Amino acid sequence: MAAFQLVSALVLSLFLQIQRSVLMVDGAIGVNWGTLSSHRLQPSIVVDLMKENKISKVKLFDADPTVLRALAGSGIQVMVGIPNDMLGILGSSPATSDLWVTQNVSRYMVKGGVDIRYIAVGNEPFLTSYQGQYQSLVLPAMLNLQQSLTKANLGGYVKLVVPCNADAYQSATLPSQGTFRPELTQIMTQLVSFLNSNGSPFVVNIYPFLSLYQSSDFPQDYAFFGGSSHPVVDGPSVYYNAFDGNFDTLVAALTKIGFGQMPIAIGEVGWPTDGAASANLSAARAFNQGLISNVLNNKGTPLRPGVPPVDVYLFSLLDEEQKSVLPGNFERHWGIFSFDGQAKYPLVIGLGNGRLKNAKNVQYLPSRWCVANPSRDLDAVANHMKLACSVADCTTLFYGGSCNAIGDKGNISYAFNSYYQLQKQEARSCDFDGLGMVTFLDPSIGDCRFLVGISDSSCSCIGCGIFAGLWIMTLWVLMYLRVLGSL
């Protein structure tokens, strides 16, 4: 009886898996999966999260083997990334380029392997703040990589792209006046011609949030998709949102170098939920849902009506609390899911999809937190707090953050806990010279969430237990069936 139930359960789960991969649709919304987090979900849980939410395309920033192995057999289309600091060596050494393709692409492109479709050559290599240091390295790297792909018989299937920041182009006034930055004109012409001859799209990252964040007189409603009281009139074109205006500035820039028909993919777009006044759940939901609806309804822009971007990768799948906060405290809060795979707000990311579903089987550390000991004088705490926040994440404590109003003592507790969870609840990490103490009562207040870390060992005690249990049961079933067979 038990054996029969187990076998039928196995058959059913196999069937479900097959069915799930058939359900995946093309031309859908993808996501960026960055891993700059000290609370990293197991890659297999993240892949299940994407499958559960019918996310069929993912963009990575590197070629992490643990991530790629988890994507094997998932049916998800993958863009792997090459960091900017590898561009020099890839462009100057064909052997290194061959090796990179062999080790990071070809070996996964087997039956039941990873469906790698794109390689991102550098990440925003033309960014103004890099002061041109990667500018001349991009094309040589692409030429070598294209050769390496051809040698590996992947030349037509895996396409090279270069995710560009929107600062690669500009317009003094209206979208139709868009041009590439003067010092990039020649490189962009070569790059786009290369992309065009390989059937690759131009990949751009567009962030209306940053426009709003950086400029106090940017009209708030122009950042969203609900219509604007400040539409931009550009000849016959009228713009009601910053995204369309930015997109068409790129279309105009491409037209000026002779490639007005170039397909465009959005490498990153999104809205953060914390760490700035304009970064909150309702704004993020409004922006992302507005964007997704426009894309899924093939709305297009005034210069490309009815033609949505070929791909759109939301930034981002998960929060990453080890990202640099140089651009702002919001940097660590771009996820549509929190670090532990919980949907932050209701979002529908595909036609026929329901709202986002949470990650399953997340293994948390025990439910305990580190807080400031109320019986101690906390005057001497400033240095401890500073130290804790220099490694752990305290970005929500500042102006515009979800924990900005929790008071002095709350600030200290928050910092202590953030550090304690980062250290995987290691006992000494809640000491702080006797100023900290462990509590079993959740100190979260209102929207301010005191997190509990996740256990990131690839095989935790519970996981091993279940796995070992299943294995023993399978052996038992096999033996049982053999005994039955021999009767």
Contacts with ligand NAG, residue ranges (CB under 6 A): 62-63, 83, 99-100, 103-104, 220, 278, 280, 282-283, 397-399, 404, 407-408, 411
Q: Nearest approach, Cβ of 253 to ligand NAG (angstroms)?
A: 28
Which DSSP symbol is given to 351?
A: T
Is 320 an annotated catalytic residue? no
Between the CA of residue 150 and those of 40, 196, 222, 419, what are the distances in Å?
A: 35, 17, 45, 48
> Residue 138 is which amino acid?
V
Please name which of 363, 394, 453, 188 lies closest in space to residue 275, comparing C-alpha atoms.
394
Q: Nearest approach, Cβ of 481 to ligand NAG (angstroms)?
A: 44
| Residue nearer to ligand NAG on the CB measure, 4 or 399 | 399
Q: Do the beta carbons of residue 204 and residue 163 sit within 8 Å?
A: yes
Q: Nearest approach, Cβ of 455 to ligand NAG (angstroms)?
A: 25
| Residue nearer to ligand NAG on the CB measure, 276 or 359 | 276
**337, β-bridge pairs:** 318, 343
Spatial distance between the Cα atoms of 333 and 402, rounded to a whole number of angstroms: 11
Q: Nearest approach, Cβ of 182 to ligand NAG (angstroms)?
A: 32
The 3-state DSSP class for residue 330 equals helix
Residue 418 CB coordination number (10 Å): 26
Q: Do the beta carbons of residue 243 and residue 208 sit within 8 Å?
A: yes
Q: Nearest approach, Cβ of 334 to ligand NAG (angstroms)?
A: 14
| Residue nearer to ligand NAG on the CB measure, 96 or 474 | 96
| Residue nearer to ligand NAG on the CB measure, 301 or 411 | 411
| Residue nearer to ligand NAG on the CB measure, 270 or 308 | 270
Burial class for 233, CB neighbours closer than 10 Å (0-12, 13-18, 19+)? exposed
Spatial distance between the Cα atoms of 175 and 232, rounded to a whole number of angstroms: 9
| Residue nearer to ligand NAG on the CB measure, 169 or 271 | 271
Q: Do the beta carbons of residue 332 and residue 351 sit within 8 Å?
A: no
Q: Nearest approach, Cβ of 405 to ligand NAG (angstroms)?
A: 7
Q: Which of 124, 320, 321, 331 is catalytic?
A: 124
Between the CA of residue 205 and those of 3, 66, 163, 453, what are the distances in Å?
A: 53, 26, 7, 31
Q: Nearest approach, Cβ of 179 to ligand NAG (angstroms)?
A: 30
Q: Nearest approach, Cβ of 78 to ligand NAG (angstroms)?
A: 13
Spatial distance between the Cα atoms of 453 and 443, rounded to a whole number of angstroms: 14
Residue 374 CB coordination number (10 Å): 9
Strands 163-165 and 159-161: unpaired
Between the CA of residue 248 and those of 28, 63, 195, 225, 266, what are the distances in Å?
A: 21, 32, 19, 15, 13
Q: Do the beta carbons of residue 479 and residue 8 sit within 8 Å?
A: no
| Residue nearer to ligand NAG on the CB measure, 408 or 442 | 408
| CA-derived radius of gyration, the chain | 25
Q: Nearest approach, Cβ of 63 to ligand NAG (angstroms)?
A: 4
Spatial distance between the Cα atoms of 290 and 404, rounded to a whole number of angstroms: 28
Strands 163-165 and 77-82: unpaired
Contacts of 431 by beta carbon, 8 Å cutoff, 6+ apart: none
| Residue nearer to ligand NAG on the CB measure, 146 or 353 | 146
The 3-state DSSP class for residue 39 equals coil
Q: Do the beta carbons of residue 363 and residue 454 sit within 8 Å?
A: yes
Q: Which of 268, 320, 321, 331 is catalytic?
A: 268
The 3-state DSSP class for residue 318 equals strand
Q: Nearest approach, Cβ of 183 to ligand NAG (angstroms)?
A: 28
Q: Do the beta carbons of residue 193 and residue 233 sit within 8 Å?
A: no
| Residue nearer to ligand NAG on the CB measure, 180 or 209 | 209
Is 124 an annotated catalytic residue? yes
| Residue nearer to ligand NAG on the CB measure, 280 or 316 | 280
Query: Catalytic amino acids?
Result: 124, 268
